Amino acid sequence: PPRLEVQDLARTFEGREVVAGVSLTVAPGQVTCLLGPSGCGKSTTLRIVAGVDRQSGGRVLVDGTCVSDDAMHLPPEQRGIGLMFQDFALFPHLSVGDNVAFGLDGGLRRHRERVAELLERVDLGGFIDAFPHQLSGGEQQRVALVRALAPRPAIMLMDEPFSGLDNRLRDDIRDRTLALLKEENTAVLLVTHEPDEAMRMADEIALMRAGRIVQRGAPYHVYNNPKDRAAAAFFSDINIVHGEVHGALTDTPFGQFLTPGMKDGTRVEIVIRPQHLRIDFDRQGRGPNPTASDGVAARGVVERARFMGRESLVEFRMDHDATILKATVPAVFLPKPGTPLWLTLRRDR
Decide whether 38 or 136 has the Cβ nearer to ligand ADP: 38
Angle at which helices 137-149 and 167-183 pack, to 10 degrees? 10
CA distance 346 to 349: 6
* Residue whose CB is less far from ligand ADP, 55 or 328: 55
Which of 1, 39, 288, 330 binds ligand ADP (CB under 6 A)? It is 39
Q: Report the residue number, 33 or 345, with the smaller CB distance to ligand ADP.
A: 33
Q: Which of 26, 30, 35, 43 binds ligand ADP (CB under 6 A)?
A: 43
**Size of residue set near ligand ADP by CB under 6 A:** 10
Residue 13 as a binder of ligand ADP (CB under 6 A): the answer is yes
By beta-carbon proximity to ligand ADP, the closer residue of 83 and 329 is: 83
CA distance 174 to 200: 8
| Strand 239-246 relative to strand 249-252, pairing | antiparallel
Q: Which is nearer to ligand ADP, 20 or 118 (CB)?
A: 20
Q: Which stretch binds ligand ADP (CB under 6 A): 2-10, 41-49, 64-72, 75-83?
A: 41-49
Identify which of residues 36 and 335 has a Cβ nearer to ligand ADP in the complex.
Answer: 36
Check residue 42 for interaction with ligand ADP (CB under 6 A): yes
Distance of closest approach, residue 18 Cβ to ligand ADP, in angstroms: 4
- Based on the number of CB atoms within 10 Å of its own CB, is 13 exposed (0-12), middle (13-18) or buried (19 or more)? exposed
140 scored as a contact of ligand ADP (CB under 6 A)? no
Among 4, 18, 26, 118, interactor with ligand ADP by CB under 6 A: 18
> What is the strand order of the sheet 255-258 is part of?
255-258, 249-252, 239-246, 267-272
Contact 140, 162 (CB under 8 A): no
Return the residue of 6, 22, 24, 40 that touches ligand ADP, per CB under 6 A: 40
Four-residue CA torsion sign, 222, 228, 232, 238: positive
At closest approach, how far in Å is the CB of 39 from ligand ADP?
Answer: 4
Q: Which stretch binds ligand ADP (CB under 6 A): 36-44, 70-78, 102-110, 140-148?
A: 36-44
Q: What angle do CA 315, 321, 327 make, to 5 degrees?
A: 20
> What is the nearest approach in angstroms of ligand ADP to the Cβ of residue 22?
11
Contact 57, 8 (CB under 8 A): yes
- One character per residue 278-317, x = contact with ligand ADP (rule: CB under 6 A): ----------------------------------------
Q: Given the rule CB under 6 A, which of 38-46, 72-80, 118-126, 221-229 is the region that contacts ligand ADP?
A: 38-46
d(CA 242, CA 115): 59
In the bound complex, what is the minimum distance in angstroms from residue 348's beta carbon to ligand ADP?
Answer: 33
Q: Residue type at 324? A: I
How near is the Cβ of 268 to ligand ADP at its closest, in Å?
32
Q: Does 38 bind ligand ADP (CB under 6 A)?
A: yes
Member of 5, 26, 33, 41 binding ligand ADP (CB under 6 A): 41
Least CB distance to ligand ADP at residue 42 (A): 4
Where in 52-81 is the site for ligand ADP (CB under 6 A)?
Answer: none
**Which residues sit at the interface with ligand ADP, rule CB under 6 A?**
13, 18, 36, 38-44
